[in-house]
Amino acid sequence: MSCFSSADESAHYGLSVCMLLGQYREQLRWEDDGVDELGTGDASAIADAVHALPGLRVRSYDISPPSVEKARANIAARGVADRYTVELGDFFDQADSAGGVQARTVISNPPYIPAPDRDILMPELWGGIHGNDLALQLLKAGYDNVIAAVPSYSDPEGTVRTAEDLGYRVVNFLAMGLDFGPYSSEPRVHAHIRRLCAEGRGWAGEADYMVAVALFTRDPELPGDRSHQLLRALQLS
């Protein structure tokens, strides 16, 4: 077992979450009940967001023991251990447990590597055959607001359509181009991504792809719908 490592991707996730939480602070009301997080990784990106947003409390979960160990050290070093907690375990076990979902908002850069099976460089990053299994599970977990990374090669259209079916709209997003890293360059993953793109289930360039961190909501206080712009930014329409 290892810890997820992709500096550009984590920085984009952390900065985007920070910006969306800041921009929509009044409507999301995260100062009241905090936010939950699926997949802490080494916690560095969100520790910076917690530091930048006084009043933000994050409850995070990761299934990877080395990640949790690293995350706790990084959170302590950043001085935000009182507002950013990490537990070792499956996020969906706590979401399903007695009492269920407490916060209104969940954040995540979910595992999104598409592959035929879990036999990949870091199995914890497997997102199912189309790469969006955990994103879809998160949308079904009962939160009013979901801030999640949506990559261009993991069936983003399927993710957006499922979100719509569940009553979510895309309020806003921040998109960025990323180079293929070690996880997506693995030959059988790379070949699988090419197949998905050829089938029309995603987009990837020769050596890069797009990721958008998007705010999905079911709250009428957050108007508008940028689903179409999101798919365009991911090169899907």
Ligand X SMILES: C[S@@+](CC[C@H](N)C(=O)[O-])C[C@H]1O[C@@H](n2cnc3c(N)ncnc32)[C@H](O)[C@@H]1O
Question: Distance (Å, rounded) from C-alpha 112 to C-alpha 39?
Answer: 11
Tokens 């206080």, residue?
221
Nearest distance, CB of residue 15 and ligand X, angstroms: 11
- Is residue 52 helix, strand or coil? helix
- Please, which residue, 44 or 169, has the CB nearer to ligand X? 44
Tokens of 181: 């890293």
Q: Closest distance between ligand X and the C-beta of residue 166, in Å?
A: 19
* Residue number with CB closer to ligand X (39 or 131): 39
Residue 67 CB, shortest distance to ligand X, in Å, is 5
Give the nearest distance from C-beta 109 to ligand X in angstroms. Answer: 3
Q: How far is the CB of 127 from ligand X (least distance, A)?
A: 9
Backbone φ, ψ for residue 190 (5° rounding): -60, -45
Residue (28 or 46) nearer to ligand X, CB: 46
CB atoms < 10 A from the CB of 187, how many?
7
Coil, strand or helix at 168: coil
CB-based burial label for 167 (10 Å; 0-12, 13-18, 19+)? exposed
The structure tokens 């180079």 sit at 179
Cβ nearer to ligand X, comparing 27 with 176? 176
* Parallel, antiparallel or unpaired: strands 84-88 and 145-151: unpaired
The dihedral of CA 78, 105, 177, 150: what is its sign? positive
Residue at 81: amino acid letter? A
Residues at the site binding ligand X, with contacts judged by CB under 6 A: 4, 10, 13, 38-41, 45, 61-64, 67, 90-92, 109, 111, 124-125
Output 125 or 230, the one with its CB closest to ligand X: 125
**Which alpha helices (H) appear in 79-140, and where do they start and end?**
91-96, 133-139
Task: Provide, rounded to whole angstroms, the least separation between the CB of residue 220 and ligand X.
Answer: 29
**Of 34 and 39, which CB lies nearer to ligand X in the complex structure?**
39
